[in-house]
Amino acid sequence: MNKIIIILLLASTFLVGQEFKVEKVTGKVLLQKGVEENFTIIKKGDFLSGNDLVLTEKNSFIQLQKEGNLFILNSNSALGLSYIRKISINDLLLALAMEDIRNVPKKNSKGIEKNTAVYGEKIKNSSTNVLSENRLGKMKINGAKQLAQSGFAESAIIVSKDTFRKYPETKLNFEDRIYFAELLEKLNLKNETLDEYNSIRKLPLTKLQKQLVDKRVETISIKRINE
């Protein structure tokens, strides 16, 4: 009977997909499960799923263990645990290609005209408080950089792209943008690197920053021609 209970417990552990074990926690580290809205505090010995998001507040860190491998997330960082994995170059290219699919196609003038009436009374000059989105975005970029430093450059690029899109303030940070563009360059993805530098060019840059980007674009373009 005890054996059956143990087997059931092991099976249930496997089924809920607890992939990461919390080895060490310092300070305030929060957990957001799947698509839940609320956050909970993580304690040492907890098991975390690949769908979870981990946030480390100021002066805190967390050490996770999965299949004997350790991963440390330092303070002021946020990371979806599903990204702590090796992604192939092919999958990275597919993920980058998803950018185009996200766009809503150009409107076709044919067909029934859409009703654009708005029902309900509009409230003008609303002073609803919007929470600062930039902080979470910045934390995610920090998390992505730590992914890259741990050898998951492909995952880090995907996280950065997602973060730049969802937290638009983050994509204005020149250093961060250059950091991830260089990651692409290191992976020898010349076309994607050029696209990224061209996107950075459109930011409000200083003269020096602009020169730096132009030089990088020129270097990669020459390399591409010589191939």
Partner 1 sequence: MFRKSLLKIFLLIQIFALQTSAQQSLDIYGGFSKLMRPKYRVNSFEGNTMNFNRTIDWEFGFSGAVILSKKRANSIQLASVGKRIGDHYLYARYTPGFKKSFALNTDTLVTIDDSINVLNSSLNYSELFGAGYSCQFSNSFTAGVTLRYFEQSYSQENVYFYFSDTVNTLVTNLDYWNKKQWRGDIGFTYQPYSNLLFSVSSSNLLILNESGGFVDNTNLELKTTKDAIIGIEYNPFNNIFLFGNYETSSSFLVGANYSINLLGGKLGLGMSMFHDKYQTPYITGFQPAINFSSKILSVSVSAIYYTHKRSNVMEIENLLTDGIHSITNNQFSYSKIVASINLSLNFKRKQNIKFLDVEIENQIFPILSEEYIGNPFAYGKIINLSENSIVVKPSSYVSNINNDVINSPSVTVAPMDTALIPFYTVISRDLEKFSNREIGQAHFYITSIYNENDDELQKPILINGLNSWNSEVKNLRYFVRYNFSESNKYSKSILNSKKLLLKNIDEKLLPFKQIEILFNSFVKKMQYVADPRSSTEYVQFPTETIKIKGGDCDDLSVAFSSMLESIGIETAFVDYKLEDKISHVNLLVNTKLKPSEAQLITTNDKKYFVRKSSVEIEEIWIPIEMTLLTNFNAAWKVGAEKFNTEAIEGLGLVKGNVAIYNVY
Residues contributing to the site for partner 1 (CB under 8 A): 32, 34-39, 51, 53, 80, 82, 91, 94-95, 97-98, 101-108, 110-112, 114-124, 126, 128, 130-131, 133, 136, 165-169
Nearer to partner 1, 133 or 218 (CB): 133
CA atoms of 52 and 68, how far apart (whole Å): 19
Nearer to partner 1, 45 or 111 (CB): 111
Nearer to partner 1, 107 or 207 (CB): 107
Element (H, E) at 62: strand 61-66
Q: Tell the smallest beta-carbon distance from residue 118 to partner 1 (Å).
A: 6
Tokens of 50: 């690949």
Q: Tell the smallest beta-carbon distance from residue 14 to partner 1 (Å).
A: 18
Nearer to partner 1, 115 or 206 (CB): 115
Q: Tell the smallest beta-carbon distance from residue 123 to partner 1 (Å).
A: 5
β-pair type (47-49, 18-26): antiparallel
Q: Which of 132, 148, 30, 171 is nearest to 83 (CA)?
A: 148
Q: Tell the smallest beta-carbon distance from residue 165 to partner 1 (Å).
A: 5
Q: Tell the smallest beta-carbon distance from residue 161 to partner 1 (Å).
A: 11
β-pair type (77-80, 61-66): unpaired
CA atoms of 28 and 43, how far apart (whole Å): 9
Tokens of 3: 């054996």
